[in-house]
């Protein structure tokens, strides 16, 4: 019998992707989606074991809309979904022409069967991404963490380190902290910062400016957090 299952759902939107489709060759666009399909498994330093069963992570992609989801009963499922979003944002930001990601993580019911997906959880995620996320960030509400109980200490540690409270009190996936911590000496980070600077120096469309201004204002917080972590580990 067909029925809904309960999932954690990340509904993501690739900002500016319509321009990429219009301006880039087909194989350049395919490279972007290769990034989505790339499997980054987060390992736990103390044990070297994966944080979660990556094979349980499902994907549904249609143009610039991406749905990533995992059943809530999977061990460390929410931490695993957030870790994917974390690394995915870093990979998109690391591209030669960085792509910004906006999205929302929710809990809800879905029906999923290969090329068929629907359910109230999908609608909830889409609306939260479209109406509430606003900026290039992936957000979730604190109550999602409060009622989540299928985790171990490593899952909780990842959640505490890789999310932060934004100015409007939504939790957000802290990809800038991860990006700077991993690649502050790499060309990809320097290129990303230069891209943000260039947009603010040249862009007159306020809807575009506010997206890059949000990132510009958040970079010092993420850098300070990453540098404190580096100092602590010395």
pLDDT in tens, 201-211: 999 999 999 99
State the pLDDT at residue 25: 64
Partnered with residue 9 across adjacent β-strands are: 69, 106
State the pLDDT at residue 234: 42
State the pLDDT at residue 55: 86
Burial 147-166 (b: 16+ CB within 10 A, else e): ebeebeebbebbbeebbbeb
Half-sphere exposure of 23 (CA within 13 A, CB side): 6
State the pLDDT at residue 38: 63
Q: Which residues, including other chains, have CB under 8 Å from residue 75's CB and lie 6 or more apart?
A: 52, 53, 150, 151, 152, 155
Closest CA to 13 of 131, 120, 109: 131
The distance from CA 189 to its chain's CA centroid, rounded to whole angstroms, is: 17
State the pLDDT at residue 95: 85
State the pLDDT at residue 85: 93
State the pLDDT at residue 15: 87
Span 5-175: which CATH code? 3.30.70.1230
State the pLDDT at residue 35: 65
State the pLDDT at residue 50: 84
Residues (pLDDT < 50) of the chain are 234
Q: Is 168 helix (H, G, I), strand (E, B) or coil?
A: coil
């Amino acid at each position: 019998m067909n029925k809904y299952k309960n999932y954690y759902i990340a509904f993501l939107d690739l900002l500016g992707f319509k321009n990429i489709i219009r301006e880039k060759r087909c194989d350049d666009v395919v490279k972007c989606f290769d990034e989505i399909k790339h499997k980054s498994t987060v390992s736990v330093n103390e044990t070297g074991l994966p944080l979660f069963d990556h094979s349980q992570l499902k994907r549904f992609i249609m143009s610039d809309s991406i749905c990533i989801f995992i059943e809530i009963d999977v061990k460390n499922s929410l931490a695993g979904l957030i870790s994917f979003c974390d690394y995915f944002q870093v990979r998109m930001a690391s591209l030669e022409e960085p792509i910004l990601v906006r999205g929302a993580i929710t809990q809800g019911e879905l029906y999923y069967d290969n090329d068929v997906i629907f359910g109230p959880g999908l609608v909830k995620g889409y609306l939260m991404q479209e109406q509430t996320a606003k900026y290039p960030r992936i957000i979730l509400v604190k109550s999602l963490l409060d009622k989540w109980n299928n985790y171990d200490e490593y899952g909780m540690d990842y959640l505490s380190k890789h999310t932060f409270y934004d100015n409007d009190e939504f939790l957000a996936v802290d990809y800038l902290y991860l990006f700077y911590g991993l690649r502050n000496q790499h060309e990809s980070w320097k290129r990303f910062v230069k891209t943000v600077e260039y947009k603010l120096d040249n862009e007159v469309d306020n809807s575009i400016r506010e997206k890059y201004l949000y990132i510009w204002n958040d970079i010092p917080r993420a850098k300070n957090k990453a540098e404190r972590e580096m100092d602590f580990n010395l």
